[in-house]
Amino acid sequence: MKREEKASISIMKIICVSIILILISGISVMAVNTDLKDITIVLQNGYEMTTVTSKSKVSEILNENNIILNESQKTIPDLESEIKSGDTIKITDKSYNEVQISKISKEGIETSLEQLLENYVPITEKIVIEQVTIPYETITKNITGTSTDTTNKVVKEGKDGLKEVTYKVKYQNNVEIEKTVISEVIVTQPVDKIVQVQKKVTSRGVTLPRVSNTSSTGGTVYKITAYCPCMKCCGKTNGRTASGTTATAGRTVAASSNFAFGTKLNIGGRIYTVEDRGGAIKGNKIDVFVNTHAEALQWGVRYLNVNVVN
């Protein structure tokens, strides 16, 4: 009987040890299959706490540690984010914006702040002074009216001006990336080119010789010049004569006070009327009125017989 009791006790011991071993193995397997994480939680007041958890979502980890956010708070990363062991959950005010310094390139390589600074190329600035040409302008004066048979005459040649421009120039890698004007100083002003459009005058090839002051026909030889209604000839451009009439080509002449206004003069076979005076019209000199300055220049100086028409 005693042998049987001893055998029964031994069997019971074996069964108990087997159960304990099975329980220990199950616990070990559960421990192995459970992914535990070390997570740091930083509260808004700066307090840090470390917790070990099997949870992976931020909201679950906070609930597990009895942490409740108020309406003005948020977490970084956000509540729905999945995290891994070694990560940090930061509780902060909603108005806070975290600046991510590291960036991911197209190739997927993380670039640190130190690498960005190493690759940064500084920008340099220089003050540069350059001389710039100011092109002259061409001014055309048409004195022909409606005439189509014209020619151009350069009255005054043009000349470019010069200015000094001060720039602020930015360079990167010795390449100009920005250029800003600071000031401009004109060194010399440009001179405008003046072109006069005038009628073509055909020379008749007639040369009048200088003759004596007496004529075989009984008339008197006068020095005959010409003038037009321009500022250079008259000092005015309204065409009004000293007698109050409007100067007319082929009719009006300026003569000295020896001839009364309205006197008819036969000059070289053509009849003119004394209607004007002139400061330079003295003695045996008469000015014939023409339409344009070009015609006045073409007339030149002529010596012609002059007779008073009765």
Digit-coded pLDDT (tens) for 208-255: 334 334 333 457 888 899 999 888 888 788 888 888 899 899 999 999
pLDDT at 225: 92
Complete edge-to-edge strand list for the sheet that includes strand 123-134: 123-134, 161-172, 175-188
State the residue for tokens 């007319």: 248
pTM of the predicted structure, to 2 decimals? 0.33
Q: What is the mean pLDDT of residues 296-308?
A: 88
pLDDT of residue 251: 93
Alpha-carbon separation of residue 291 from 158, 240, 262, 264, 288 (angstroms): 28, 13, 20, 20, 10
Residue type, 134: I
Q: Which domains are seen in the chain, by residue range? A: 12-94 (3.10.20.30), 130-199 (2.20.230.10), 220-308 (2.40.40.10)
Which tens digit of pLDDT belongs to each residue from 84-113? 888 999 998 877 654 444 444 445 555 566
131-147 residue pLDDT tens: 989 898 888 877 666 66
Longest CA span, the chain: 195
Q: What is the pLDDT of residue 96?
A: 66
Q: N- to C-terminal Cα distance for the chain?
A: 192
Is the pLDDT higher at 205 or at 152?
Answer: 152
Q: At residue 310, does pLDDT exceed 80?
A: no
Between CA 50 and CA 130 the distance in angstroms is 67
**pLDDT of 273:** 94
| Tally of CB atoms within 10 A around 209 | 5
pLDDT of residue 9: 65
Cα(34)–Cα(289) distance, integer angstroms? 121
Predicted local distance difference test score (pLDDT) of residue 208: 39
pLDDT number for residue 151: 80
- What is the average per-residue pLDDT within 281-296? 89
Higher pLDDT, 200 or 276: 276
pLDDT tens digit sequence for 165-190:
999 999 888 888 888 999 999 999 99
Residue-level pLDDT at 163: 92
Look at the chain and count its residues.
Answer: 310
Q: HEC states along the chain?
A: CHHHHHHHHHHHHHHHHHHHHHHHHHHHHHHHHCCCEEEEEECCCCCEEEEEECCCEHHHHHHHCCCCCCCCEEEECCCCCECCCCCEEEEEECCCCCCCCCEECCCCCEECHHHHHHHCCCEEEEEEEEEEEECCCEEEEECCCCCCCEEEEEEECCECEEEEEEEEEEEECCEEEEEEEEEEEEEECCECEEEEEEECCCCCCCCCCCCCCECCCCCEEEEEEEECCCHHHHCCCCCECCCCCECCCCCEEECCCCCCCCCEEEECCEEEEEEECCCCCCCCEEEEECCCHHHHHHHCCEEEEEEECC
Predicted pLDDT of residue 166: 93
4-61 per-position pLDDT tens digit: 666 666 677 777 777 777 777 665 545 444 578 888 999 888 888 888 888 889 999 8
Q: How much is the pLDDT for 114? A: 64
- Predicted pLDDT of residue 35: 72
In this prediction, residue 150 carries a pLDDT of 75
